[in-house]
Amino acid sequence: MNRPEAQSYVIETAKNEHFDAVGELLVQVYSALDGFPSPDEQPKYYAMLRNVGDLTEEPTIDILIAKTHDNSILGAVVFFSDMKHYGSGGTATQEKDAAGFRLLAVSPTARGLGLGKALTEACIQRAKNMGRKQVVIHSTRAMQVAWHLYENIGFQRSTDLDFKQESLPVFGFRLTL
């Protein structure tokens, strides 16, 4: 696939026909992260990634995608309008008046186009439109490039949201709206 150009994509809510491509993108991106557990080390996690569309059976969960005019999926993120369905370890599911997002991924062919930021801002705007007071997210050391993006947008490290996913330390961030 040729490298897409900046602004040659739209962000929208994924439909059923997008779910398989989103799942494959998530597996591709997360399995390639240096220092992140492999599919062999955390098979349940990768099964969840592969079947990410199943999460949308809960009406408070949507998948947002960045796609080209020909329906190529360039990036995706899972948005939670109610933290009780966030599905992480730790205390995040107990956060009140909050939205969150997880599983942000951008295709290697589309990196540098601002898709991660655009998907993050789309989640923040959804949370604002719903009247939420904060947005909660998590990241790992393998995703430190994303940490800079989140911090530049205004997220702050929130150690009260930290937890371990099996042996993997997971770090919480919070954006007050």
pTM over cut 0.85: yes
> 144: closest CA among 35, 52, 26?
35
Q: What is the DSSP letter of 64?
A: E
- If you average pLDDT over residues 15-33, what whole number do you get? 97
Parallel, antiparallel or unpaired: strands 134-139 and 73-80: unpaired
Q: Give the model's pLDDT for residue 110.
A: 94
pLDDT in tens, 57-110: 999 999 999 999 888 999 999 999 999 999 888 899 999 999 999 999 999 999
Q: What is the DSSP letter of 2?
A: P
Q: What is the DSSP letter of 29?
A: H
Mean pLDDT of the chain, nearest integer = 93
Q: Select the more confidently predicted residue: 88 or 55.
A: 55
Q: What is the dihedral of CA 61, 66, 72, 78, to 10 degrees?
A: -20
Q: Give the model's pLDDT for residue 167.
A: 82
Of 49-63, 85-99, 131-145, where does the model show the most confidence?
49-63
Among residues of the chain, what percentage have pLDDT more than 70? 96
CA distance 33 to 30: 5
Each domain of the chain, given as residue ranges in start order, spans 10-176
Q: With 70 as the cut, is the pLDDT of residue 5 above it? A: no
According to CATH, the topology of domain 10-176 is: Aminopeptidase (3.40.630)
Q: Select the more confidently predicted residue: 166 or 26.
A: 26
Q: Which residues contact 114 (CB under 8 A, 6 or more apart)?
A: 6
Q: Determine contact, residues 94/158, Cβ cutoff 8 Å.
A: no
Among residues of the chain, what percentage have pLDDT more than 90? 82
Q: With 50 as the cut, is the pLDDT of residue 1 above it? A: no
